[in-house]
Amino acid sequence: MNYQWYPGHMTKAVRMMQENIKLVDLIIELLDARIPLSSRNPDINELGKNKSRIVLMNKSDLADPAQNRQWVQYFQEQGAHVLEINAKSGAGLKAIDGLVQEACREKLERDRKRGIVNRPVRAMVVGIPNVGKSTFINSFAGKACAKTGNKPGVTKGKQWIRLNKNLELLDTPGILWPRFEDQEVGMRLAFIGSMNDEIIVQEELACDLIRVIHRYYPEAVPGRYGLEDGAWLQSTELTEEEAAGVLAGIAESRKCIAKGGEPDLSRAAALFIDDFRSGRLGRLTLEWRGISSDE
C-alpha cells in the first residue's frame, strides 16, 4: 500500500507558518514518542532553523520507557531542549516554563540590556496532524482555548493564546510534507492516525502494524489476544501471509465474525489499530534509536 496524504489546506498552513515565523522567538515542536523521528516534519526543521527550539515527546505514556530515555538523549545531543510529556494528563507540563526561560536565555538577556522588560516570549507550537498540539495547549493553559479532536486536521487557522505575562503561544494546523521518500515513514504516520483513515485500507494497515510490533515486541500481540504459539511466533520478521493469519486469529479471538462464519477482518483490523493507538497493547515504541531509523 502506498502511504501518502497531503490535502490542499496543508499548503496554505505552510504559507501561514512562513509568514508568522518572524513574529516568534521560539518553536515548540511536539512529536509522538512512539515514532520520534518519523513524526518530525523536515519542512518545520528548515522553517525554524534559526529559532530556539523545544522538543516535547508527547504520548510518552504510550511509548517504551527505555526508548523514551534513548530518544531524549538523542535530541539533547542534537542541541534541543527536550521533555517527555503526556498532554492529556498534564504529566511533564510543569517543567515547560523553566525550559522556555532556558531556551530563550539569550533573547531575554538582550531584551534586558535594551531596557525591554515584561515582554512575553512568543512561541509557535508546531507538529504533524494528531500529535496532540491542541490538547497540549489546553492542558498547559488550564482551559479549553484550542479546539481538540481525535482526527487529523481539526486546527484550521491561526490562534494566539496568551498563557501568562511571560509566554504567548501561536497554535498552528498540523502539517505533513508533500512526499514521503521513505514509505516506512508514511506507514508509521498512518499507524498513529496522522493520516486520514478513510483513504487507507485498514486490513493492510493492521497487517503492517502486526509485522512492525512483532519485530520489536513479539509477545505483545499474542499476549493481548490469547493467540496460540505457532511458527510465526518464532520468526524475527513476519511475512505478509503470516501477518494476515495473525489478523484472522485476532478476529476469532474477539468474535469478529462475518456472515457465513468467515472472520470479519475489517472489524478486527479497526479493533486492533484502536488497541494500539490507545495503549491497550502496552507501551510500545515502533522506531528504536539506531534501528530502522535515520539515526
Residues contacting residue 10 through CB under 8 Å, at least 6 positions apart:
173, 175, 176
Q: What is the per-residue pLDDT for 294?
A: 44
Rounded CA-CA distance 126/31 in Å is: 9
Q: What is the per-residue pLDDT for 215?
A: 95
| Weakly modelled stretches of the chain, pLDDT under 70 | 143-158, 229, 231, 290-295
**DSSP string covering 192-210:** TT-S-GGGS-HHHHHHHHH
Q: What is the pTM of this model?
A: 0.89
pLDDT per residue over 190-205, tens digit each?
Answer: 999 999 999 999 999 9
pLDDT per residue over 225-268, tens digit each?
Answer: 999 767 677 888 999 999 999 999 999 999 999 989 999 999 99
Q: What is the per-residue pLDDT for 154?
A: 43
Q: What is the per-residue pLDDT for 216?
A: 95
Tell me how far CA of residue 74 lies from CA of 61, 79, 83, 178, 295, in angstroms: 19, 9, 12, 26, 9
Q: What is the per-residue pLDDT for 277?
A: 98
